[in-house]
Structure 1
């Protein structure tokens, strides 16, 4: 078994499993100290900006990417948990595939061929695992709501800086208490919203929500 794990063809898969175990240990340590990596994991992602005036081809690409993320259940299940599911699926599927090839053919596939093949095979496993997590985590289950039903609710900027003609990602809770991630742009062209800013969603133009800064101390995202 150790020989299989340390084989050069399998190092990527072994590292994936090691990272999965490391993330689990770090999450347990965080929980012991009263925190959670799950709740803050999105903050380490790179800044993403979308412009509603992007060319049609780019909009199509963004839409396809959004649908792909939705298919992977990103936004429905905590991103850190999906990453753990991916690392587990990728590592196990890779080792199982290589073990079968070695048993049948006497050789393992080279890493340059095995890694992309196993990556593709892991994606349905991530979707399936995300669905299981979604069912056993009631807080993360979603109830169908219309896009306009989020208007008038408080959102928090989570990724990027929202400014004129550039939207940033924001988190908003619907009437059922479930979280959604939307693209937000200031209603006032002179305003900017930094990460962590609470805003009030006013109108919607396609996939972009126009918002103003929430200056009412009696309103917050947790109250909505």
Structure 2
């Protein structure tokens, strides 16, 4: 079967299988493209439109939907080529098989995606204002934050989502070192100003 998958008639399905495994591994180790703001949830309005027909009518992250579609396309393609080989003695050319498998796979994925949406935990998309990060604590990730020389910090909002912002100390004389936490007290543009979580007598000059 493995050698058969490397023949031209099966190559589209071998490629989709490898791509499905790759996306699945990315999701499994927690590096989903959502971390780079490419992931998303699709919500339909339940009116039976095209999105609902494609299986995007419920809340389901796009990468999971895509992984399901690739799996259905692969299974439909292999089944089609196996069936044509059994009936006619040879598989279809890869282009014709791909078209047939895409139609069959999309139809099959409608049921698979809707089933996954019911099984998987609910996904929530939380959108917050930048100013909502004020009065939250951030941790300096690298370097030392000084006035005029902001450092990158990680802030976890009330929903548990991480944000990465540039931070300067609120007071001119302060400096906030890597690993220290500080309270964000104001913002100017993209830069937050913070008070370090240590007594004033211990703050770096």
- TM-score tier by shorter-chain length is 0.5 to 0.7
The DSSP-based 3-state class of the residue aligned with 1:108 is: coil
Identify the residue that residue 64 of structure 2 maps to in structure 1. Answer: 81
> Which position in structure 1 is the counterpart of 2:95?
112
Match of 1:37 among 27, 32, 40: 32
1:68 aligns with 2:72: no
Q: CA deviation at 1:39?
A: 3.2
Q: 1:102 aligns with which of 80, 85, 107?
A: 85
On the 8 A contact 2:32/2:39 being kept in 1, the answer is no
Match status 1:131 vs 2:126: no
State the alpha-carbon separation in 1 of the partners of residues 101 and 118 from structure 2.
Answer: 26
Cα separation, 2, equivalents of 1:12 and 1:84: 15
Against the structure 1 CA distance between its residues 198 and 67, is the aligned structure 2 distance closer, same or farther, given a 3 Å change threshold?
A: farther
Runs of 4+ that moved beyond 4 A: 214-218, 220-223
Give the whole-Å Cα distance in 2 for the aligned partners of 1:92 and 1:217. 46
Tell me the number of residue pairs that the alignment of Structure 1 and Structure 2 aligns: 131
| Map of 2:76 onto structure 1 | 93
Q: Distance in 1 between matches of 2:36 and 2:133?
A: 27
Distance 1:79 1:21 in 2: 15
- Please tell me whether the aligned partners of residues 55 and 114 of structure 2 are also in contact (alpha carbons under 8 angstroms): yes
Structure whose CA Rg is larger: 2
Instruction: From the two aligned structures, give the one with the greater helix fraction.
Output: 1
Could you say which residue in structure 2 is the equivalent of 1:206?
A: none
Q: TM-score, normalised by structure 2?
A: 0.53
Which 5+ residue runs of structure 2 have no aligned equivalent? 41-47, 135-156, 161-205
Aligned to 2:24: 24
Structure 1 regions of 5+ residues with no counterpart?
46-65, 141-177, 181-196, 200-213
Given that 1:38 and 1:78 are in contact with CA atoms closer than 8 Å, whether structure 2 keeps it comes out as no
Q: In the alignment, is the contact (CA less than 8 A) between 1:89 and 1:125 conserved in 2?
A: yes
Greater Cα offset, 94-103 or 68-77: 68-77
Which of the pair has the greater relative contact order for Cα pairs under 8 Å at 6+ separation?
Answer: 1
Shift of 1:137: 1.6
Are the counterparts in 2 of residues 198 and 221 from structure 1 also a CA contact under 8 Å?
Answer: no
Q: What's the RMSD between the two structures over aligned residues?
A: 3.2
